[in-house]
A and B are shown apart, each in its own frame.
Chain A
């Protein structure tokens, strides 16, 4: 049985004149994801992407990739058959026999783009429906509210049949809405934030602040692994690793202890802002959620984001930890996030952090530091890595 995939597009269908731009992007993204899995014929008709394996094309790999492709609302597996009604009936029964067994409400729909086919769509539907009803007597025809909708499509070269639909990853194609810079720590939250914004069509760059020897090489490896895990959904990610040790030590020397974390986050925002702008990103993305920790109060976020020029997207801002963890598990980042390699040494963590900082207090705390020099040096020495679909 020769199988293929149908990818039903999501929100794209609402976009009107922009639709073709989005489907082109979606096709491009899919091609990139499938480049190591053999040859495929990929084409779009209206708001459905068709994926036919050619020589060496690995359909299972394509199916897995399709389920993680943003911009796709549903993924259907379909079987290809000859364009005659007997073959169609037989193949449909064979292919969907497992799904059609048992008392189920079913309906058959037919579409034909080849108008030379000797039967009309309603005739095709009736004939196939009748055959299936005979072969699977427990099936109950239901035109209004079927549990399983068998669709027969007659195209130029062949016919194909599909019945089962899997929910797709949703969202919009990666890159269709620009590029964002994700502040990626090793925690549970930031990878989820990155995933959510990729889902809204942002290509991702990632920025990580590395404080060796206060933090370990293993902590850095963990972040790289998290980035790799995200590429399955977000495609290629450029990871920027910023040497942050000197800044941490300066903060510890010159700022009041209760302001350590706030000042640190301001430096992170400044640096991320510059790195992001230099690489075509239109926004920063963080994993902040309101009230989770002392530095994530309203006031704290206002004070830290004020030093950034780019808008700061916080997709987790209104989410509970439980919901964030659920997503992290679903997208496969949770187990890596909880590995015990800390991304900030306790020597830089205040015992009694300020929770409602004021802007002027933050500025005073930074007053004795040469902010521009520190930021410039960090940006200049940032290491760049490209993460792409390696598993």
Chain B
């Protein structure tokens, strides 16, 4: 049975160049970058090259980048670091549609003396720059707003927010979880007016377990993980060379085809949108047409049940995710925030493309959707 993998926002296949780099780092260049002999020095050189590759993709200089275990750790480091940094400034601002790595971390800090303002999103799942700027207080330490929402694909107005914050209060740190935005927009993460940005490797063709945090030059952040002093003492731990090498290679390869990749994803997304309109008019499409990332299309088959549909589609080789679950209380907080009716939320599905997907994948999905539509009709 052929595989139609349409869940690239959840994770993506590792690129062959990245996998090869990881194998080499495991089998041949396995030295510890901190060791003083040749094998170690060679790993240190590999670390440097990989860092340069990722920095180039992120639009920053190598010293502005630290490697982490993934988007979640990067989010934690940025948020906890910002809160720990400013004595006297304990107010945090974020949105209700953030990834749990941001929301739960902020909520947890409330137990440690911080105060949080969690901005509501509109019906499209967006927040406005006005909302953010209005919420600023003299004791605000940090604003954290995601670049692309992982459930719907909508773009948040990062540029407007960043420029607004710089005008209003230079001492407020602006962090953006750019996990779903990295290599999904022409503008690289560090080119936005942000102080910190989180990215993740496994969404862009590197293995799971590696990510990075961009920290603007001049910003000192306390470390989250302390130990042997690696990453300029900002993130201790022996550098995960196989994953880092793979991450570097993935960035190098993807950078060569960025524009084409974005166009391809847009093309597929539009094709799906069109086919849904024509052949499944009862489907409710959540992802708006403008100001969205090219790879995500979220919609619902009202009356359906996400988990059941995912199983049926999966049995046909079509892999998508839900963003919702049958059991009450497990509904996606993003869809709830968008004030969608329960019947619609319960049938939510999320499709996310990679440039390697094809029209056949879309066709297989449409066939499967008709089957599930009939099951629940």
SS of A interface (majority): loop
Additional A-B contact list (7), CB under 8 Å, known A340-B327, A342-B326: A212-B311, A213-B311, A213-B312, A213-B315, A216-B311, A345-B305, A346-B305
The number of chain B residues with a CB under 8 A from chain A is 11
The number of chain A residues with a CB under 8 A from chain B is 10
Contact indicator per residue, chain B 314-337, by CB within 8 Å of chain A (1) or not (0): 010000000000110000000000
**A342 vs B327: C-alpha distance when bound (angstroms):** 8
Q: List 7 A-B contacts (CB under 8 A).
A: A213-B311, A216-B307, A342-B326, A345-B308, A346-B326, A346-B346, A347-B376
**A347 vs B327: C-alpha distance when bound (angstroms):** 11
Q: Which residue of A lies closest to B315 (CB)?
A: A213
**A212 vs B315: C-alpha distance when bound (angstroms):** 11
Chain B residues with CB under 8 Å of A342's CB are: 326-327
Chain A residues with CB under 8 Å of B307's CB are: 216
The 6 closest A-B pairs by CB, nearest first: A213-B311, A213-B312, A214-B308, A213-B308, A346-B326, A347-B305
Chain B residues with CB under 8 Å of A213's CB are: 308, 311-312, 315
Chain B residues with CB under 8 Å of A249's CB are: 375
Contact indicator per residue, chain B 357-377, by CB within 8 Å of chain A (1) or not (0): 000000000000000000110
Contact indicator per residue, chain A 245-260, by CB within 8 Å of chain B (1) or not (0): 0000100000000000
Q: Which one of A213, A216, A346 has the greatest number of beta carbons of chain B within 10 Å?
A: A213
**A213 vs B312: C-alpha distance when bound (angstroms):** 6
Chain B residues with CB under 8 Å of A212's CB are: 311
Contact indicator per residue, chain B 45-70, by CB within 8 Å of chain A (1) or not (0): 00000000000000000000000000
List the interface of chain A (C-beta within 8 A of B).
212-214, 216, 249, 340, 342, 345-347
Distance in Å from the Cβ of A303 to the closest Cβ of chain B? 28
Chain A residues with CB under 8 Å of B305's CB are: 214, 345-347
Chain B residues with CB under 8 Å of A345's CB are: 305, 308, 326
**A353 vs B346: C-alpha distance when bound (angstroms):** 21
**A347 vs B308: C-alpha distance when bound (angstroms):** 10
**A340 vs B315: C-alpha distance when bound (angstroms):** 22
Distance in Å from the Cβ of A210 to the closest Cβ of chain B? 13
Chain A residues with CB under 8 Å of B312's CB are: 213
Distance in Å from the Cβ of A1 to the closest Cβ of chain B? 51
Contact indicator per residue, chain B 191-213, by CB within 8 Å of chain A (1) or not (0): 00000000000000000000000
Chain B residues with CB under 8 Å of A346's CB are: 305, 326, 346
Distance in Å from the Cβ of A363 to the closest Cβ of chain B? 27
Distance in Å from the Cβ of A216 to the closest Cβ of chain B? 7
Q: Which residue of A lies closest to B325 (CB)?
A: A340
**A213 vs B368: C-alpha distance when bound (angstroms):** 14
